[in-house]
Every structure is written in structure tokens, then in C-alpha cells.
Amino acid sequence: MVMMNIKFSIKTKFFIIILVPALLLLFVIYLNTVHLGSLGRSAELILSKNYKSIQVAQQIRQLLEVNRNRILMTLFQDRATVPPDAPLNRDISALLKICKDNITEPGEKQIIDNLFEKYEKYAPLLTDLLKNHQGSIGYTPRHYEYLSSTASLITDLNHLVLINEKAMEAAEEQTRHIAKKGLRYSVGLLFAAILFSIIFSYILSSKVSRPLTNLARSLAEIKEGEGAYPQISVTSHDEIGFLISEFNRLFERLEIYDQLSADKLTAQKLKVRQAEEARALFVADLSHQLKTPMTSLSMSVGVLCEKANSLSKEKKQTLLKTAREDCFRLSALINELVDIAKLEGQLRPRRKEQLNMENVIHECLRPLTNQAEERKIHLKIDIEPELPPIAIDSLRFPWVITNLIGNAIRYTDPGGNVALKVDKHGRRFYFQCIDTGSGIEEKYLPKIFDRFTQFSEREKSGAIGLGLAIVKEIIEQHGGDITVESEMGKGTRFRFWIPLGGEDVG
């Protein structure tokens, strides 16, 4: 399984395309919120302090007016009619301290300092006038001083109120200006964020789509029969880069496949040419094998017919023996041709049957036993006892045994040995056909199972070069395999096996 080497997936890229503008917009909103909140708090703080100064100044002014009215009442009314709960000076003093602690505007400190200075003169006057007045009505210089001090305090307080009111108006105007400026700043920042988001999304989207476009263009340029496949450059480490890498690997495999196909086609052409050459040689060899015994037989029969009376008994016996050998060679050749024709005619393998291998071998070797006895060859059959039934083709498989043993007898000189061994190992039947014949040259062994291969003297044996090729085909149809070992002058050993169980069993 091929592992994907993806460092930056398309899903991640699209997520970033959405995430970055969203984060940028959230940042803009955050800046606006912080800016406007800070502006609001600053304006609120300024206004609250100014308003507090105005409120305290008005309270002080109200107390001063109340005290002034009480003093005026003492001048024109009896003391008994004056309200006893006169305002305390400490209230005014406490309010002045609040004003001092709440200085926010330029010039406000000087006014408050003047208020404290004037109040230090005002307080004793007020206390003295309220304490020493005997109820007689009369205007004294201390009353004038008191009223003048009160008017001066009220004037400073009005000045303090005016300063804070102007400061409030200025703060309000500045707040509106800053708010407009902040709005322009926010709108500009928002448009910048949107523009950046569009540019960023376009660049990243182009980066995502460009490899796909290049891949599609490269694939569109590929045409059948135009030579080598392209190698597309990998420019990204995402799914598209992985896809391009897989296409490159596919092109490499296609190039290898095309090369293998071309090599196979060349080999097949060579094989066909070799087969045609072998077939031509086979036809020539077969013609020669048929012509030689026929000529010899014709000459022997002709001599016997024309000069039978003049020939000696020994000469007649020689001619008859020659004719008999020629008939035997022709018969063997014709029988092999007939058997091969029958097997070749069965293009489709027959349905297999469960048969006893010992019975099959003894039945198909019965004719060869007599042939071995005539040639004075010792034929030994060694079959492992109690072998289980095996699924085989009842027509084609016995021909394998007949052909191998027949060839062994044919190539073994009188007095030699031919053996067939059969045993079972696991789920396989193993067969060995061993002879002490002339053997096969080493150069012929790699092609011994090819059709029309010549590896012996045909004129002597009567073989046509198709038997072993068909033997191999039948064994492979049974799911097995065959090998051969041979040494010149010492003999040949064929080994093959077939599986115990088989499909398509009848």
C-alpha cells in the first residue's frame, strides 16, 4: 500500500482560505470595539468629572445663598423668627475639598485655591454674624464685608461652573470628532481587510488550482503512439501532489509495460519463426523417415519378387528381416502420428475421473511389456502399495505413461533396464521413468519439451518430435510439472508429479 506523503492538504488550504479572512474581520471588529469602548469610557470619565465639579459648585452656591438670606433676615426680622437650623460651614468646606480633588481643567486649580482663601475669611464672618447678633436691626461694616465675600465666592463658583461647562462642550465636540475619525478608520480597515482577504483567497486558490490545470494539460497532451510518457513536476505537498506522483508512477509502469510488451512481441515473433523453421524441418524429417523405410521395403520386396528362385536361403532371410524391420519402423511412426492426432484433436481437456493408478499403469503398459521382452530389455514397475484413487483424464494421462516408457524402450539397447516408480508424498503423486539408454545431449535438454525438437536419430528411432511436448501439456493440464535429467551413455530420468485432488471430477 502506498502511503500518502501529504504535508499541506487541500482541506487545510480551503480551511485557511476561510479562516484567515474570518480572523482578520474578527480582529477588525475587536479593534473597533476596543477603540470605541476606550473612547466612550474616556468621554464618560471626562464628562462625569466635569459634571461633578458643576454639581458641587452649584451646591456650594446654594448654601452660600441660603446663608446670605439668613443673615439678611437677621437684619430686618426679630431673631426669634429666624430658623434655628443654620447651615454648617463644614458642609461648604467638605464640598470645596471635593472640588479640589476633582480638578480636570486648566485654571480650575487657581479658582479653587481662591475659593479656599476667600472661604477662610467668609467662615468666621458668618459665624460671628450669627453668634453676636442681638436682634436689633442695623447694617454694620461686617455685614458689608460678609455680603461682599459671599458675592466674590459666588462669582468664583460661577466661573468654575462656566469652565466645566465649556470643558463638557469641548469634550462633546472632541468626542464627535474622534467618533467620526474612528468610523473612517474602521471603514478603511474593514475595506483593507476585505481587499486583503480577496487577494489572499485568490492567490491560495490559484495555488490550489494551478497543479490541477498543469496535470490536465499534461494528460491532454498525451497521445497514443507518440513515444515516452511525460514526467509531471510535483509542485505541492497535498493530495494533488500525491495524485501527480501517482500519475508519474503510473507512467513509469506503463513505460515498463510497453517495453515488456515489445520484448514479448519480439520474443513471440522469434518463437513463431523458430516454430516455422522447426515445422519445416519436421516435415522434411518426417518425409525422410517415411521415404527411407518405404524405399528399403520396396527394394526388398522387389528383389524377392523378381529373383526369389535365384536367391539363396540366407539372402532371402536377410531381405525378409530387412522388410520386417522397415514395416516395424513404419508401423511405429504411423501409430505415433495417429495417437498425436487423437490427442491434438481434443482441444478441451476431458472431465477427470477418480481411478486407481496401479490399474491404469498395468493396463497401459501391457502392450509395451511384450515389446520390451522382444528387445530383451528388463522392464521394472515399482508402485507404492495402497495408493488412494486420483482424479485424472482416463484417455490423455495413460498416454503420458505409454509415451515415456515407449521412448525409454526405444532408446535403450538390448540387455538394458527401464523402470517406472510411483509413490505419494503429501497431496501429490510422484512418477519417475528411468532408463539405461544412450542418453540425451546436454544442449538439447532445455528444449526437449518444445515441439519438433530434434535430439536423436529419427531414422533409427521412428520418433517425430511431438510426443514430449504433448506429455508436458497433459501433465500441466493436470496441475503438475515434469523435469528431465540425462547423461550421454548412462541413460535418462524423467520426473513428474500431479496433485492428488482435482477439480471437475466425475
**Whether the Cβ atoms of residue 18 and residue 256 lie closer than 8 Å to each other:** no
How far CA 493 is from CA of 401, 407, 420, 502, in Å, comes to 13, 12, 10, 26
CA distance 146 to 125: 6
DSSP 413: P
Over the Cα atoms of the chain, what is R_g? Answer: 64
| Domains, the chain | 10-214 (1.20.120), 225-345 (1.10.287.130), 349-506 (3.30.565.10)
Count the neighbouring beta carbons within 10 Å of the beta carbon of residue 417. Answer: 16
CA distance 336 to 94: 142
- pLDDT class for 337, splitting at 50, 70, 90? low
pLDDT at residue number 36: 65
Average pLDDT, the chain: 76
Where is average pLDDT lowest: 278-282, 399-403, 421-425?
A: 278-282
Please give the grid coordinates belonging to residue 6.
Answer: 501529504
Angle between helices 141-221 and 239-307 (to 10 degrees): 10
Quote the pTM value. 0.43
Name the residue with higher pLDDT: 436 or 107: 436
CA distance 384 to 389: 13
* pLDDT tens string 65-83: 888 887 777 776 655 444 5
Q: Which of 383, 398, 381, 407 is nearest to 463 (CA)?
A: 407
Q: Which of 245, 235, 201 is nearest to 16 (CA)?
A: 201
Three-state DSSP class for 382?
Answer: strand
User: Is 414's pLDDT higher than 70?
Assistant: yes
User: Is 418's pLDDT higher than 90?
Assistant: yes
Please give the grid coordinates belonging to residue 210.
Answer: 494551478
pLDDT at residue number 316: 73
pLDDT at residue number 495: 96
**What's the distance, CA 49 to chain centroid?**
69
**Whether the Cβ atoms of residue 430 and residue 481 lie closer than 8 Å to each other:** no
Where is average pLDDT lowest: 217-226, 366-375, 425-434?
A: 217-226
Please give the grid coordinates belonging to residue 192.
Answer: 483593507
Q: Is 88 left (phi over 0), alpha (psi -120 to 50) or beta?
A: beta
User: Is 458's pLDDT higher than 80?
Assistant: no
Q: Give the bridge partners for 352, in sequence order.
A: 505
- pLDDT class for 462, splitting at 50, 70, 90? very low
Q: Which of 285, 227, 340, 230 is nearest to 457 (CA)?
A: 285
